[in-house]
Structure 1
Amino acid sequence: MYVAQIMILWLWLYRDDADKLLLQMPALLTFTSDFGVWFGYSVGVLWSLAVEFWFYITFPALLFIARKAGYPVTFFLVLMVMSIAARLNQTESLTLAYYHQFLIGVIIALLVDDQKVPKFLATNIAFNSALAVLAICVAIPITARNFAGYFQGTCAAFAAGVLVCYWLQRPPRASLPILQGIGTISYSAYLLHPIVIDYVWKTKQHLPSHIPTFVAITLGASLVTYLAIERPFIALAHRHTRFGKPREQGVVQGANTPAAL
């Protein structure tokens, strides 16, 4: 999907600046560029994918160290503080500056695995507070990647973490197939929506009045790319990795563990 997006940018949307984009191609394909040249919103999403890539590269080693230390939650909380401190000290590493937002999900997963999710996160106060924070974050537009935008994203990440903990302890009773479908294609939508913004902006010149067009194109294109690119590659990965194989029932229930024996 990442490579497909770069090709769309190069061959179609930014063909007038293709030479500049071509110069950035090696760094883009190796996730080593912050992409300092502004072409439009479509480029804005690429730096975040580079941060995500380096998180996945470095996290397994950190998880191994955390497990060996015996206090993984504490270990990752310390790393979160270090990440925020690095941003306050104006680090040039975007991966380090935004690492804590990924670690929020890591800590939640560890708490769930150990069945130690705080009970107060299942209260209505926690739920409503998190929704309020998210609403404020959405209502305030991010115009630059500065400290305000940084902490806006951090607050949104913490609020989303609270909502996840709430729903894990109090699962919603209603089934919403439409939202589930949007969730399925959400990664494709994440990659494609900036391209659609640029397209609508270039052709219509006024995005707010064309929001229905923006939403329709984004969802339609995301569905196509999910079916044509994302789902086939996910299936291919499952066929060649252990993640695609169901775990044995005995292992899940602990029947074959030393404690059970």
Structure 2
Amino acid sequence: MTCSGMRNRRIDLLRGISILLVLLHHFNIAYRLDDTFLSRVFGWETVRAVARNGNYGVTMFFVISGYLITANVIRRWSEPGHVDVRAFYGLRIARIVPCLLLLLAVVNALAMAGIAIFQNHSPDGAPVSFWLVNLASLTFWMNVLIGAHGWTNYALGVLWSLSVEEVFYLSFPLLCLAFRREAWLVAFWLACIVVGPIYRFFHQGDEGGYLYAYFACFDAIATGCCVALLARRFVWRGRAQSVSAWLTAAGITFVYLSCPIRESNVFGVTVMAFGTAVLLLAAHDHPAGPTIRRASASTVLEGFGRLSYELYLFHLIVLGLLRTIFSPSGVAGDEKLALLVGYLLLSAWLSASIARIYAEPLNRIVRQWLVPRRSRSGSECYERNQPDVEHPQSRIVNGLSDRS
């Protein structure tokens, strides 16, 4: 069975839900859905509640990322303290950098072509050069730049979450080797979990602090790391698993819908992170299966989950072009829903094309350059969130993060 043939579909589903929340959030910012059929049927308050908290989708991504990174380190090297630093960084570069470079090339080209929405803006009144934006993107401090100057570049602003993840993972293998003992590593991650809500509490009113700062987000990634270690020792099956998963899903749905993230972020992020962790525990021992090619809501969401990294990076290019062609001020009513469908379809098509034609081939090439041969086996499973399958009937151990 090939690596791409078997996946943990529950984790794909979680990732699909997460990325869809982000996509809906950004679309609603551009084309407010208050006068559409959805608002007439369900009410604007309901539609707004679904669309306003896309950043909680990123929180879910962070947890899934930490879980899958740690689970694959365990799968590959048996213990975090045995991690091969060169292989770890090589796998991260192979997965992250090709798409990042393509995104920068496309956005820079569109800006130089004179398309206003892709050029830099100055929300705080201080102009920021493309050199600085590109540097922040490549060296993973876009979140710091946004905190200082606002959302300077429309399409590149999404790189704030990649900055958070990659700074966390820059230290990940070094901490594994430094601590050696799993207990010390867990203690460090628990400290991150405690610091997160405290940091957010002291940065209320500062969006760059409570949403985008490293210490405002590390707790979600650390939660995922801890749950991957817990999953090795915790076997959870049967009715209790199912009931707990459904109750957890209901709980985080309530938190998501109840109030805006600017009001609930202090402990809301923690609740969303812990809830996602419970759902990952429920999914951990779930048998993986082949991708089923049939039309259903869950299958569509799983497809979005498989493309979540590419979708996250490139969806604002699609939305930015739509905003350029169809000015939000000139679109009203159910025309917005038609644009929403087109936006989702075009984003999915673009992301699938990039993954198939560009990202996956380059991923394999870069791994051959950077990853030692002894660590290369199964690395595509590691980087694409796919399981390492010993036998079609064997227990599945899942594989790694995509961005947020």
TM-score relative to the length of structure 2:
0.52
Query: Counterpart in 1 of 2:81?
Result: none
State how 1:113-132 maps to structure 2 within 5 Å. 113=232, 115-116=233-234, 123-132=241-250
Give yes or no for the alignment of 1:210 onto 2:326. no
Q: Residue 60 of structure 1 corresponds to which residue in structure 2?
A: 173
- Between the two structures, name the one with larger relative contact order (CA 8 Å, sep ≥ 6): 2
Is the Cα–Cα contact under 8 Å of residues 189 and 219 in structure 1 kept in the other structure? yes
Which residue number in structure 2 is paired with residue 253 of structure 1?
Answer: none
Between 121-130 and 182-191, the greater mean CA deviation after superposition: 121-130
Q: Which moved more, 1:125-134 or 1:34-43?
A: 34-43
Q: Identical aligned pairs, as a percentage? A: 22
2-side partners of 1:150 and 1:223: how far apart?
Answer: 36
Picking from 287, 296, 318, the partner of 1:196 is 318
1:97-142 Cα deviation digits (max 9, x unpaired): 21011112211211223x2356799523321122223434554686
| Structure 1 position 94 matched with structure 2 position 213 | yes
The range that moved more, 217-226 or 33-42, is 33-42
Q: What per-residue deviation string (whole Å, max 9, x for no partner) do you get for residues 66-95 of structure 1? A: 433645434422331123323323395811
Q: Displacement, 1:222?
A: 0.2
Question: What do you get for the CA RMSD once the two structures are aligned?
Answer: 3.5
Q: Which residue of 2 aligns with 1:165?
A: 281
Structure 1: which amino acid aligns with 2:165? E
Q: Please state whether the residue corresponding to 2:349 is helix, strand or coil.
A: helix
After superposition, give the CA deviation of every residue in 1:178-216 in whole Å (9 maximum; x if it has no partner): 455433322101111233233333333254442210111
Partner of 1:254: none
Amino acid across the alignment from 2:282: Y
Deviation string 1:25-64 (CA, Å, 9 cap, x unpaired) is 2222222233334356523311111111101111222233
SS of residue matched to 1:43:
coil
Amino acid at match of 2:105: M
Match of 1:232 in 2: 361
C-alpha separation between the residues in 2 aligned to 1:149 and 1:40? 24
- TM-score, length-normalised on structure 1? 0.76
Distance 1:189 1:140, change over 3 A: farther
d(CA) in 2 for partners of 1:60, 1:187: 22
Whole-Å Cα distance in 2 between the matches of residues 182 and 98 of structure 1? 23
Kindly tell me the number of residue pairs found equivalent between the two proteins. Answer: 245
State whether structure 2 residue 227 is matched by structure 1 residue 108.
yes
Q: 1:132 to 1:55 in 2, by over 3 A?
A: same
1:227-259: per-residue Cα shift (whole Å, max 9, x none)?
233202321243241442259x9xxxxxxxxxx
Distance 1:27 1:173, change over 3 A: closer
Bigger mean CA offset, 19-28 vs 182-191 = 19-28
In structure 2, stretches of 5+ residues that fail to align are 1-98, 121-126, 294-298, 379-387, 391-404
* Alpha-carbon separation, structure 1, partners of 2:195 and 2:102: 34
Residue matched to 2:55: none
Per the TM alignment, residue 169 of structure 1 is displaced from its structure 2 partner at its CA by 3.4
Q: Does 1:84 align with 2:193?
A: no
